Structure 1
């Protein structure tokens, strides 16, 4: 084998070696990307598709929202947060999207479509200001009045923005904070509905 043949063989070995290295590099990149995607999806961020009219007109069927799953590991829920929660009925489980209207230690009631909240330690209730409600959607019944309900520790009271068309804490009772998947913070699809929540 002469010198030029030796160079040709060495060059071919280098090409095979660099091709194998490039293949391994791509495998590593794909594996890292999948791992990051799994971790983000599993622990930080999720997306949900809205079904039903319980949050009209804030959210409508087909809206897609991003949900911060880490939010309530870092801080407590706040009044007005739009949250996704687990609901378990017998053998079925599904996620619901509602709004937090009362916090742990508070008392909540509704009369003539007015939601009144007595904050923890307060002696008098106050009418809850709810600028997110669409008055054209809220009917005269608002789903019916309800008597005062005390929200236990580590629970929240949630309601849909379409009060007459929502299954919420009025039926389900206060929701354990451990059943909150996270806080919905943006509508990202369809593009025409994009907005912060």
Structure 2
């Protein structure tokens, strides 16, 4: 290990103090990266099947949305509107000002049916149950408010998403999912 001077001529820090400082700087750097650059997430549910498997570990980067907003098709992490402190992962279907409609098992945005190969031909229907935070049922077509996004899980028949809790404020988005790194068999970009 390199010797570190303590500011006095010829003086050196004791080895134990050198180790403590090195570890403290390492921890501080790791916390800064986790807070401002990227974070690892473990996926706890199957709401994004087959794109993301339950138990997959992925990296979400936090830099992109500091200067822009999520776009349709992005896979994002965000704070659960019902359980603060819980992070959810879903796909952005529409952004502020766009109109979402669900007809005949398909999703339409601004009147155009989406091509969604990632849902593996599973139908998309409105959810009968609604979140208590909404106060009223979502009626379709639904116009996404400015500053918000409409998100859905890829496993449409088993996902509580914007059909349940409504639009998500872009201020609640914590990262854009980049890639799955574990298990190795599932490793790939998103």
Q: Do Structure 1 and Structure 2 share a fold, with TM-score over 0.5?
A: yes
In structure 2, the residue matched to 1:49 is 42
Q: Could you tell me which residue of structure 2 aligns to residue 106 of structure 1?
A: 98
In structure 2, the partner of 1:95 is 87
Q: Which moved more, 1:48-57 or 1:152-161?
A: 48-57
TM-score by length of 2: 0.81
Asked if the contact 1:105–1:151 (Cα under 8 Å) also holds between the matched residues in 2, the reply is yes
Deviation track 1:52-75 (CA, whole Å, cap 9, x = no partner) reads 211110011100111112221121
Distance 1:24 1:130 in 2: 57
* Matched residue, 2:58: 65
Contact kept, 8 Å, 1:78 with 1:100, in 2: the verdict is: yes
Given that residues 64 and 176 in structure 2 are in contact (C-alpha distance below 8 angstroms), is that contact kept between their aligned partners in structure 1? yes
Pairing 1:85–2:78 present: yes
- Relative to its length, the structure with more helix (as a share) is 1
Over 6 Å off, 4+ runs: none
Query: CA–CA distance in 1 between the matches of 2:26 and 2:182?
Result: 24
Within a 5 Å distance, the mapping from 1:1-197 to structure 2 comes to 20=13, 22-89=15-82, 93-118=85-110, 125-135=111-121, 138=122, 140=123, 142-144=124-126, 147-197=140-190
Q: Higher mean Cα deviation, 152-161 or 46-55?
A: 46-55
Partners of 1:38 and 1:181 lie apart in 2 by 15
Matched residue of 1:147: which SS? Answer: coil
- Distance in 2 separating the partners of 1:47 and 1:144: 31
**Conserved 8 A contact 1:144-1:164:** no
Q: How many residues align?
A: 170
Q: CA deviation at 1:23?
A: 4.4
Displacement of 1:22: 4.6
- Residues 88/155 of structure 1: CA separation in 2 closer, same or farther (3 Å cut): closer
Q: Which has the larger radius of gyration?
A: 1
Gaps of 5+ in 2: 1-10, 128-138
Alignment RMSD:
2.2
Query: What is the aligned partner in structure 1 of residue 4 from structure 2?
Result: none
Give the 3-state SS of the residue equivalent to 2:80 in structure 1.
Answer: strand
